[in-house]
Amino acid sequence: LQKAIAVIPGDGIGQEVVPEGRRVLQAVSQKHGIDLEFVDFDFASADYYQAHGTMLPEDWFDSLRGFDAIFFGAVGWPDVVPDHISLWGSLLQFRRSFDQYINLRPCRLLPGVKSPLVGYGPGDVDFYVVRENTEGEYSSIGGKMFEGTDREIVVQETVMTRTGVDRVLKFAFELADSRPNQHLTSATKSNGISITMPYWDERVKIMSENYPEVRQDQFHIDILTANFVLKPNHFDVVVASNLFGDILSDLGPACTGTIGVAPSANINPDGTFPSLFEPVHGSAPDIAGQGIANPIGQIWSGAMMLDHFGETEASADVLEGIESVLSSGDASILTPDLGGRGSTSSLGEAIASTILSR
């Protein structure tokens, strides 16, 4: 198996954690006989913007579309380029143009990671949030009337298409079907939002007929957020519309750990276009350049990429490597956000060598 990976470190700590992600991917691919080819790109960064006045070159789409995946760090450097330009000019272009209609975030309690959840330990909480990433509440259909008067009115529509809803539900049901608990929770609000949300529920019901093994339940989004905190062990796979999924996919990882360890995937499951794997965190200007950023979010994103390639054993190996190093509690290796005095590279190196020595 040969896979070509476009590497885009971006800004700030993106440039520090991406090499560690790559180090671990190299170790695990060597061990499992996977052939990964990495190609570096300097665009989608403030440096590129300063030199060219844009975040991306004109031919970015053709440069990237042939890759099997994009391994992304973080973008944003507010001193040089306003955040809405850096984000809309790069990451959001990738997500939209490459039809990455799934945003996937694991929520899993790792050993040695401080979590605000009380009474739960590693192994107790382990679920995925599947967010619809292209339509729903985030449409640009709407407008403003009578601006500046007392009659001022603003409207913004939610768009749900059968294709758009069904494809995210199918992905979520497939994922649930593949997991030991085979449990899918759907986020809804059909008591208050009386057209689109009942439609979502109806499509869930129809899709569920194809997956008789999957237990299915649904919660209104308000009580669902409460249950993420109060009963996180209830969940296995949680599927949600764009807005609800946006909220849940920040809340879930926040419940299960520090931002430095959280990974994410923006997936085009059809494989028509490359999928993108990136840590949840941003470029962290406050700690950039110090070599103390936690590389685990980036490394775990690499594991999700391996999963996407069907390399589930190699992916599990990375996760076990991360957990093993975290469990050791060795303060000379762990980064400061984990209570240690180690560095980005000491932690990345420890994970890579743990994988190779197992």
Query: Which residue among the candidates 47, 250, 330, 337 is catalytic per the annotation?
Result: 250
Query: Residue 259, interface with ligand NAI (CB under 6 A)?
Result: yes
CB of 133 to Mg ion, least distance (A): 11
- Residue number, 11 or 236, with CB nearest to ligand NAI: 11
Does the annotation count 48 as an active-site position? no
Does the annotation count 250 as an active-site position? yes
- Tell me the two tokens of residue 55: 């975040």
Query: Residue 75, interface with ligand NAI (CB under 6 A)?
Result: yes
Q: Are strands 2-10 and 35-40 parallel, antiparallel or unpaired?
A: parallel
Determine the Cα–Cα distance for residues 215 and 18; give it in Å rounded to an integer: 38
Query: Residue 281, interface with ligand NAI (CB under 6 A)?
Result: yes
Determine the Cα–Cα distance for residues 288 and 11; give it in Å rounded to an integer: 9
Q: Which of residues 258-317 bind Mg ion (CB under 5 A)?
A: none
* x/- map, 13-32, ligand NAI, by CB under 6 A: x---x---------------
Query: Which partner from the list ligand NAI, Mg ion, none does 74 bind, CB cut-off 5 to 8 Å by kind?
Result: ligand NAI
Using a 10 angstrom Cβ sphere, with 0-12 exposed, 13-18 middle and 19 or more buried, the burial of residue 142 is exposed
CA distances (Å), origin 89, targets 53, 95, 243, 324: 11, 11, 21, 38
Q: Which of residues 233-252 bind Mg ion (CB under 5 A)?
A: 246, 250
Using a 10 angstrom Cβ sphere, with 0-12 exposed, 13-18 middle and 19 or more buried, the burial of residue 84 is exposed
Cα-based torsion angle of the residue sequence 224, 229, 235, 236 in order, rounded to the nearest 10 degrees: 120
Neighbours of 262 (CB within 10 A): 25
Query: Please, what is the end-to-end C-alpha distance for the chain in angstroms?
Result: 23
Does the annotation count 138 as an active-site position? yes
- Tell me the two tokens of residue 233: 């062990």
- Residue number, 99 or 246, with CB nearest to Mg ion: 246
Determine the Cα–Cα distance for residues 358 and 239; give it in Å rounded to an integer: 35
Q: Which of residues 186-205 bind ligand NAI (CB under 6 A)?
A: none
Helix or strand run (H / E) with residue 271: none
Query: Residue 318, interface with ligand NAI (CB under 6 A)?
Result: no
Does the annotation count 49 as an active-site position? no
* 3-state SS class at 85: helix
From 27, 91, 207, 238, residue interacting with ligand NAI (rule: CB under 6 A): 91
Query: Residue 260, interface with ligand NAI (CB under 6 A)?
Result: yes
Cα-based torsion angle of the residue sequence 57, 62, 67, 71 in order, rounded to the nearest 10 degrees: 20
Using a 10 angstrom Cβ sphere, with 0-12 exposed, 13-18 middle and 19 or more buried, the burial of residue 306 is buried
The piece of 50-58, 146-154, 279-287, 310-318 that touches ligand NAI (CB under 6 A) is: 279-287
CB of 246 to Mg ion, least distance (A): 5
The piece of 53-61, 225-233, 265-273, 277-285 that touches ligand NAI (CB under 6 A) is: 277-285
From 76, 164, 263, 302, residue interacting with ligand NAI (rule: CB under 6 A): 76
Query: Which residue among the candidates 31, 47, 120, 138 is catalytic per the annotation?
Result: 138
From 284, 325, 350, 352, residue interacting with ligand NAI (rule: CB under 6 A): 284
- Residue number, 76 or 106, with CB nearest to ligand NAI: 76
Query: Residue 294, interface with ligand NAI (CB under 6 A)?
Result: yes
- Tell me the two tokens of residue 4: 């070509």
Give ∠ CA 46-50-56 in degrees, rounded to 5: 65
Give ∠ CA 308-182-111 in degrees, rounded to 5: 70
From 278, 311, 317, 323, residue interacting with ligand NAI (rule: CB under 6 A): 278
Does the annotation count 62 as an active-site position? no
From 74, 110, 130, 351, residue interacting with ligand NAI (rule: CB under 6 A): 74
What are the residues binding Mg ion (CB under 5 A)? 246, 250
What are the residues binding ligand NAI (CB under 6 A)? 13, 17, 74-76, 78, 83, 87, 91, 259-260, 278, 281-287, 293-294, 297, 337
- Tell me which residues are annotated as active site: 138, 189, 222, 246, 250
